[in-house]
Chain A
């Protein structure tokens, strides 16, 4: 047998073995700014297709000034010795506004909005909604205050959960891969029907249930991600910030910390960890051209799946912070101060 043939056999066997080891847990439950006039200035790096969708928006071209800045700094722009650098792009400086889109046939997270309803963030009774409503102003989110925009203005420690849409139309099936174009089209439908209000400085979190595979790499390449696309608002192309927030509890090994839930809601407790990650990254690197390090890691990437000091909660769960009276276990975030580091508060 030739080496090539032998390698083929080996790899085929390996792939067979790997393919047979794929596991997805059964989802337990089919369960999901006060920035005011913040109007971030977007870099013109989104090319809309005829459909109005910007499927290539997650690819970012380096500007000449960035390249020069990078060269002068060995890879990054400003940022001193904190281990993360500014590259000239916009941030959500005046505060972070978020909206939740629960894209499922039924309520995703316990206590959450009923399918087919819309409302203000204050009407979301799920633990995910509670987290979003209590994240802003916390010592934890204040870590983002250590980052600035291009004018040197520090990011405001504010998260405003403005609206939700429990969209039960054209719901993707379990295991179905959903492309960015399809996610943007879904948001576009929400804006067109007025189920969603468009705002350039709002991060639209798209939650799904079960094993819906937002982006195609859920559970193997990532547990969630943030990016941006282009929608048409009143016939004008606009950038929309969004995150893909699959049901992380469907992949407990890869996407949950596997410790006891501090709130007795394992699915939502798992989700808020990756939710914090995406919210922080969008705040400081909304177009993927602002704050990241020499390896391309954004602030939350640098501290993902690290917890700092934890404590036991009254129900036997594990947590590392209290927001609004509830305990959560959420990853640390990178502070852009001094020599930098992963911290739980700032």
Chain B
């Protein structure tokens, strides 16, 4: 049952939206990428994980903390 709900929700979500291949020009621009620069994102997340009590949700992680 949960699997059916997930599939139906996904179809409902995507079926009424999305972009055809010829409509993806804006989506392909660098500023539309979530993590166009992985190294910069890793530096940024390292600061947040070191300085805040929360973690997770933005990718990255691992490799020790340097905060012992």
Partners in one complex: no
Q: Which residues of A contact B (CB under 8 A)?
A: none
Q: Which residues of B contact A (CB under 8 A)?
A: none
